[in-house]
Structure 1
Amino acid sequence: MTLVTKAIISAFRDLMRFRIAWIILWPIIASILFWLLVGYFFYDVFSEWIYVLLNETKIYEWLKNLESNWLESFMMILIDILVFIPLVVMTTLIITAIFVMPTLIKIVAKHYYPELEREYGGTISGSIVNAVVASVVFILIWLVTLPLWAVGAGIVVPFVAASFMNQQLFRYDALSEHANKQEFSKICAENRYSLWGLGLCTSLIQFIPFLNLLAPIFTALAFIHFGLGHLKILRAERNKALC
């Protein structure tokens, strides 16, 4: 069993065992309320940005050529939803990574990795910077690939964006308390494709109604198990080499 598969199974198991209903719900509730408020107060500004972007990609011209007011209105609502959902997902993941991860790490480490010493290779500022970088690239992926929706190829965009966001955001926080900087660099360098694979697998649940409420916590748990599992192996190999 690969560590990616083991991490996913462990995350599902922990969701069933841990009484973390509030931990699961509050990040996504906070994200939805935040963007609803932002949309309410700045709807005109966002609408203008969307119109400008659509004009640049010739999508708005195509909508006008349809000569159907209801279809044009429907497409604009759909575009608003396509913008709203990624923002909610991104914000929920950031809240989970920065504010919820420490609690989850304590729970997982205490139950499954009590022998791992904490070397605190990560910092709060490092977590925030990492979250900012992940968010900026996530938004850029959506903006740059927006024209793909007009030709039907946009279906791959959510999966690529979510895969990147998950692996970029959670790999740092999963190891920040236990791994030192050298261990973190080594684990990330040696497992680059596995991290992307785990990012893709955990992103799939984000697109399943109702189950997507569990997605941020599930993703966090999966990356914690993956990171600490690799750290346990790395330290065991290092100790064996020293003997």
Structure 2
Amino acid sequence: MRPVAIAYGRALRSQFSGRMLLLSIVPLLLSLALWGGLLYAGMQPLLDWLHALFADYGLFETSNGILATLGLGFLKTLVIPLVAMLVLLPLMIITSLLFIGVGAMPAIARHVSRVQFPALERREGGSFLGSLGVNLSGIVVFALLWLVTLPLYALAPVALIVQAVLWGWLTARVMSYDALAIHASLEERRTIVHAQRRSLLLIGTVSGLLGALPGVAWVGGALFSVVLFPVLAVLSIWLYLIIFIFTGLWFQYFCLQALADLRAGQVLKDIVP
């Protein structure tokens, strides 16, 4: 736990540097360009399709009954926008994570390396294509699991836990690769990921809980006014990017420290017969 806490403190200090805050600008612009166009062109068709789907399969009665049981009957007129948000939210998060992983993690790695580990040898065990492959494969699995667990949103506490665990798995998978891609060899990366899998999952899960906050703000704010939907979407995307940059820093500090410790242990083993 101590290495996790130390890495957290280092990441928190780095998060508020001007360089790290600027890192969110390019992914934000990319996300806004992508989702601005998609929401402008596809939001109304999506709402119409969901409305027709609910009407054809009697889902309005089912959802109204569930909401009434939970004491949330006042939300029945917002069922379609809420379902649309729950469908779009993971897609927005995934694209933000992809932009951070591909666009920002190399800069984060260079920053952490220069500040904290200037003497750490670079063994280039990862690659851009490798990072892209890990990102895309993880995203596919995550998206499928997210869809399967959507009904759990009827039980908010359970949904929050499941969401955090899913994000924990995805971020641990994606960011541990990116954090070690430049400095670790393939064998070193595999060794660290295996030996530190619980710590990596812990960092990812805590980050997942933090990552739930923008989504809660988006959905909660939109309950008061659907007009706020696009504004809150932009704010949520930016908050996700900030959280992902912090998460990237946290993983980077932790993984590079684990790599430094691994190499120090190997050197000691070579010296002491």
**What TM-score, normalized by structure 2, do the two folds share?**
0.78
2:198 is equivalent to residue 193 of structure 1: yes
In 1, Cα distance between the equivalents of 2:120 and 2:53?
49
More divergent stretch after superposition (134-143 vs 151-160): 151-160
- How many percent of aligned residue pairs carry the same amino acid? 31
Please list, as runs of the form range in 1=range in 2, the aligned pairs for 1:61-100 lying within 5 A after superposition. 61-63=61-63, 71-100=75-104
In 2, Cα distance between the equivalents of 1:34 and 1:105?
26
**Matching residue of 1:21:** 21
In 2, Cα distance between the equivalents of 1:194 and 1:99?
25
**Matching residue of 2:173:** 168
Contact map agreement 1:118 1:177 (CA 8 A) in 2 = yes
**Matching residue of 2:106:** 102
More divergent stretch after superposition (118-127 vs 134-143): 134-143
**Matching residue of 1:8:** 8
In 1, Cα distance between the equivalents of 2:58 and 2:164?
24
In 1, Cα distance between the equivalents of 2:266 and 2:7?
22
More divergent stretch after superposition (207-216 vs 109-118): 207-216
Letter in 2 for 1:139: A
In 1, Cα distance between the equivalents of 2:53 and 2:195?
39
Residues 87-132 of structure 1, C-alpha deviation per residue, up to 9 Å, x if partnerless?
Answer: 2221111111111111111111011101111110001111111010
In 2, Cα distance between the equivalents of 1:128 and 1:178?
18
Distance 1:64 1:198, change over 3 A: closer
**Matching residue of 2:130:** 126
Gaps of 5+ in 1: none
Please list, as runs of the form range in 1=range in 2, the aligned pairs for 1:139-154 lying within 5 A after superposition. 139-152=143-156, 153-154=158-159
Deviation, structure 1 residue 33: 3.5
Helix, strand or coil for the counterpart of 1:19?
A: helix
Deviation, structure 1 residue 163: 1.3
Contact map agreement 2:168 2:201 (CA 8 A) in 1 = yes
Gaps of 5+ in 2: 215-234
**Matching residue of 1:40:** 40
Deviation, structure 1 residue 159: 1.2
**Matching residue of 1:158:** 163
In the comparison of the two structures, how many residue pairs are matched?
242
In 2, Cα distance between the equivalents of 1:95 and 1:212?
11
Letter in 2 for 1:215: I
Letter in 2 for 1:2: R
Deviation, structure 1 residue 80: 1.6
In 1, Cα distance between the equivalents of 2:48 and 2:58?
15
**What TM-score, normalized by structure 1, do the two folds share?**
0.87
Letter in 2 for 1:240: L
Residues 124-165 of structure 1, C-alpha deviation per residue, up to 9 Å, x if partnerless?
Answer: 111111010111122112100011123443232321222122
CA RMSD of aligned residues (A): 2.9
**Matching residue of 1:236:** 264
Helix, strand or coil for the counterpart of 1:122?
A: coil
Deviation, structure 1 residue 30: 2.4
Contact map agreement 1:35 1:84 (CA 8 A) in 2 = no
In 1, Cα distance between the equivalents of 2:107 and 2:176?
16
2:185 is equivalent to residue 180 of structure 1: yes
